[in-house]
Homo-oligomer: A and B are copies of this chain.
Amino acid sequence: MEKVNLYHIYEREFAYKACTAVLPGCCTVTAMRREEMTESSEAVYIISAFRKREGIYAIRIMPEQTGKYHYRICLEESGEAEALTVEGKFTCTAPGDGCHGKVQMKEDGFVYADGTRFLPFGTTCYAWTHQSEELQEQTVKTLKERCFNKLRMLLFPKYMPYNEEDPAVYPFEQDEDGSWDVNRIVPAYWDNLDLRLRQLGELGIEADLILFHPYDKWGFAHLTQEASMSYVSYCIARLAAYHNVWWSLANEYEMLMDKKTEDWDAYGCLLQKEDPYRHLISIHQILQLYPKKAWMTHCSIQSGNIDLVPVWKKEYQLPVLIDECGYEGTLEYGWGNLSAFDMVDRFWWTVTRGGYCTHGETFHRGDAVLWWGKGGVLYGESEPRIRFLKELLEKLPGCGRAKVHGPHTNPNGKKGEEMTEADRHFNKLMESTPVENLMGIMAEVHKVLFTDTWQLRYYGRTCPCFTWLQLPEDGRYRIEIIDVWEMTRETVMHDAVGRTRVSLPAHPGMAVLARKEE
A439 at the interface (CB under 8 A from B): yes
Looking at A71-79, A191-199, A458-466, the stretch in contact with chain B turns out to be A458-466
User: Contacting A468 at CB < 8 Å: which of B286, B332, B433, B507?
Assistant: B332
Query: Cβ of B288 and Cβ of A442 under 8 Å apart?
Result: no
A467 at the interface (CB under 8 A from B): yes
A338 at the interface (CB under 8 A from B): yes
Query: Cβ of A364 and Cβ of B465 under 8 Å apart?
Result: yes
A382 CB to closest chain B CB (Å) equals: 12
Q: How far is A62 from B430 in the complex, measured between Cα atoms in Å?
A: 43
Query: Cβ of B334 and Cβ of A442 under 8 Å apart?
Result: yes
User: Contacting A304 at CB < 8 Å: which of B287, B303, B304, B440?
Assistant: B440
- Given A255-B422, A342-B461, the answer on whether A444 and B287 have CB atoms closer than 8 Å is no
Q: How far is A437 from B430 in the complex, measured between Cα atoms in Å?
A: 19
User: Contacting A257 at CB < 8 Å: which of B422, B433, B436?
Assistant: B422
Looking at A38-46, A229-237, A323-331, A352-360, the stretch in contact with chain B turns out to be A323-331
Query: Cβ of A303 and Cβ of B334 under 8 Å apart?
Result: no
Query: Cβ of A444 and Cβ of B257 under 8 Å apart?
Result: no
Contact residues in B for A436 (Cβ distance below 8 Å): 434, 436-437, 439
CB interface residues, A 235-286, toward B, < 8 Å: 254-255, 257, 286
A419 CB to closest chain B CB (Å) equals: 14
- Given A304-B441, A443-B335, the answer on whether A506 and B286 have CB atoms closer than 8 Å is no
Contact residues in B for A163 (Cβ distance below 8 Å): none
A417 at the interface (CB under 8 A from B): no
CB interface residues, A 423-439, toward B, < 8 Å: 425-426, 429-430, 432-434, 436-439
Contact residues in B for A465 (Cβ distance below 8 Å): 330-332, 337, 364
Query: Cβ of A364 and Cβ of B440 under 8 Å apart?
Result: no
CB interface residues, A 286-333, toward B, < 8 Å: 286-288, 302-306, 308, 326, 329-333
Query: Cβ of B305 and Cβ of A441 under 8 Å apart?
Result: yes
A484 at the interface (CB under 8 A from B): no
A394 CB to closest chain B CB (Å) equals: 28
A508 at the interface (CB under 8 A from B): yes
Please list 26 pairs of residues, one from A and one from B, whose beta carbons are closer than 8 Å in the complex, sorted by A's number.
A214-B422, A254-B429, A255-B425, A255-B426, A286-B441, A287-B429, A302-B441, A303-B441, A304-B443, A305-B437, A305-B439, A308-B440, A331-B464, A332-B464, A333-B444, A334-B411, A334-B462, A337-B462, A337-B464, A338-B443, A338-B461, A339-B507, A434-B436, A436-B436, A436-B437, A439-B440
Of all A-B residue pairs in the complex, the 8 with the closest CB atoms, nearest first, are A334-B444, A305-B440, A304-B440, A436-B436, A330-B465, A334-B443, A330-B506, A337-B462
